[in-house]
């Protein structure tokens, strides 16, 4: 039977591992938000192109 990681590492190392995991998770969320923002901007640009070409 395996020991949990928290038992194998000392408190400081365990805390550092948790902090790094949290940072990685935050960066991933920011990346997803950025991707979504880019998609939204792209849609708005396409929409504005269509509107301007129709009025020309």
CA distance 17 to 28: 16
Domain count of the fold of the chain: 1
19: pLDDT confidence band, cut at 50, 70 and 90? very high
Determine the average pLDDT of the residues in 24-39: 93
Q: Look at residue 3 and tell me if it is in a domain.
A: no
Question: What is the model's pLDDT at position 55?
Answer: 57
- Residues 6/14, Cβ–Cβ less than 8 Å: yes
* Burial profile 37-55: b = 16 or more Cβ within 10 angstroms, e = fewer: eeeeeeeeeeeeeeeeeee
pTM: predicted TM-score of the whole model, two decimal places: 0.54
pLDDT value of residue 42: 93
- Whether pLDDT at 26 is above 60: yes
Token couple for 51:
């509107």
Query: 54 in a domain, yes or no?
Result: yes
User: Residue 7's pLDDT is what?
Assistant: 84
Assess if residue 39 is contained within a domain: yes
Q: How far apart are CA 26 and CA 15, in angstroms?
A: 16
pLDDT for residue 39:
94
């Amino acid at each position: 039977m395996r020991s949990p990681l928290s038992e194998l590492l000392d408190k400081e190392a365990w805390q550092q591992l948790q902090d790094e995991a949290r940072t990685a998770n935050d960066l991933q969320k920011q990346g997803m938000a950025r991707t979504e923002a880019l998609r939204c901007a792209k849609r708005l640009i396409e929409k504005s192109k269509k509107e301007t070409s129709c009025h020309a």
